[in-house]
Amino acid sequence: MKPFKGERVFTPGPVEIPDRIREVLGRQIIHHRTPEFTEAFLETRELFKRLVDCDSENFVFFSSSGTGAMEACVLNFFEEGDKVIAVVGGKFGERWAELGKHWRLKVIEHHVDWGKSVNPEDIEKLLKENPDCKGILIQMSESSTGAYHDVRAIAELTKDRDTLLVVDAITALGVYDMKPHSWGLDVVVGGSQKAFMLTPGLSMLWFSEKAKDKLTGRAYYFNVGNELKKQVEGQTAWTPAISLILALREALRILLETGMEGVENRYRTISRGMAKASESLGLRLLPENPSISLTTLLPPEGLSADEIRKAMLSEGVRVAGGQGKLKGKIFRISHMGMDVNDMVVALSVLERVLRAKGLKKESGVEAFLEEVSR
């Protein structure tokens, strides 16, 4: 197989960066303590409000990966000794539990088989058994498995309780038409290198009034209260990721030009098409209720996931492998930042790889295009 010129990136972070954003990232740096930066930062904040469909000023940007904002959630909204429920259904659910334990919260781990989605009834039972529970830590899109957790259903359980619903939406924000205020979410975390199509290094943390009332002040660098005071004025408490803030402004413009309803519809269409294509290629999806951010696949009998990944990379297409207990057992194809034509590229390479390995099936590309044309 002759490799393509260059490499296409279909991993669930980092994702490919559009030309419009690359142009912004390539500009000469500006100083952050200037009216120019303040104006750009305040515009970015206004665009973010439109993205989440909420006029509240309760959100901050941190110069960190998404894990930094996750740690900020634990430090800013909970005191040492607080009891929390962590939904552990993948690598990033494990991270919630690890962060909680590290900062001496009393963590109740609710384990879900990897690839399964949490049952809200199980969470309701846990809340009744633990009326002093201060928070639920969960993913909306568990990208290590590709599973979707119904955070809106869980929000119905926490809205009348003194319990914060803290959502890692790092591979959901910018994909789904999220409305955290009207849905009843309390804290939402996002990351730059996912659906915002930026380089790594910027995280977002949105929070409700209910959560704001619980700010602890325990953090130093990741202090949400200190950051909020500065950021509503167009500045930051510490040196910001200047170029990423400017690029985020452009990314938000791109998303809002389509509108988040349209963006979600595009990803739903892609997800539907990928499911049909996978079936035609004789592949099985791992998650029962997949996130629309990516497709997570089990390899066919007699072929390992890493063999498929290696062969696809030789053709110029990089996809992700499994993490934790799924390492070497699955491969993951991201939809984030992609359109239908992009996915045809990934599918055509996957199809050729399977055929070259003697696993000739029906055309995945044909099945994909038929489904997305409906």
Query: What would the pLDDT profile of 164-200 be if each residue is shown by its tens digit?
Result: 999 999 999 999 999 999 999 999 999 999 999 999 9
Using 50, 70 and 90 to split pLDDT, how confident is the model at 6? confident
Encode burial over 106-144: b for 16+ CB neighbours within 10 A, e otherwise: bbbbbebebbbbbebeebeebbeeeeebbbbbbbbbbbb
Q: So what's the pLDDT on residue 3?
A: 43
Q: So what's the pLDDT on residue 1?
A: 39
Other Cβ atoms closer than 10 A to 256: 15
For 340-368, what is the mean pLDDT?
Answer: 93
Domain range summary for the chain, segments of one domain joined by +: 8-15+259-372, 19-258
Q: Are 202 and 192 in contact (CB under 8 A)?
A: yes
Q: Are 14 and 200 in contact (CB under 8 A)?
A: yes
Q: So what's the pLDDT on residue 5?
A: 56
The CATH class, in words, for 19-258 is alpha beta
Q: So what's the pLDDT on residue 358?
A: 87
Query: What tens digit of pLDDT does each residue of 208-223 get?
Result: 999 999 999 999 999 9
For 42-64, what is the mean pLDDT?
Answer: 98
For 97-122, what is the mean pLDDT?
Answer: 98
Q: So what's the pLDDT on residue 223?
A: 98
Structure tokens at 7: 């490499």
Phi, psi dihedral angles at 362 (to 5 degrees):
-70, 165
- Does the structure show a pLDDT above 60 at 134? yes
Q: Are 234 and 42 in contact (CB under 8 A)?
A: yes
Q: So what's the pLDDT on residue 374?
A: 87
Q: What percent of the chain has pLDDT over 90?
A: 96
For 18-46, what is the mean pLDDT?
Answer: 98
Which run of H or of E encompasses 124?
Answer: helix 120-129
* Poorest-pLDDT segment among 95-99, 167-171, 210-214, 357-361: 357-361
- Does the structure show a pLDDT above 50 at 242? yes
Is the preceding omega at residue 14 within 30 degrees of 0, hence cis? yes
Strands 331-334, 294-298: pairing kind: antiparallel
Nearest Cα to Cα of residue 167 among 189, 191, 195, 148: 189
For 296-306, what is the mean pLDDT?
Answer: 94
Using 50, 70 and 90 to split pLDDT, how confident is the model at 302? confident
For 257-268, what is the mean pLDDT?
Answer: 98
Q: So what's the pLDDT on residue 70?
A: 98
For 132-148, what is the mean pLDDT?
Answer: 98
Nearest Cα to Cα of residue 174 among 342, 351, 369, 18: 18
- Does the structure show a pLDDT above 70 at 80? yes
Tell me what the pLDDT averaged over the chain comes to. Answer: 96
* Superfamily the domain 8-15+259-372 falls into: Aspartate Aminotransferase, domain 1 (3.90.1150.10)
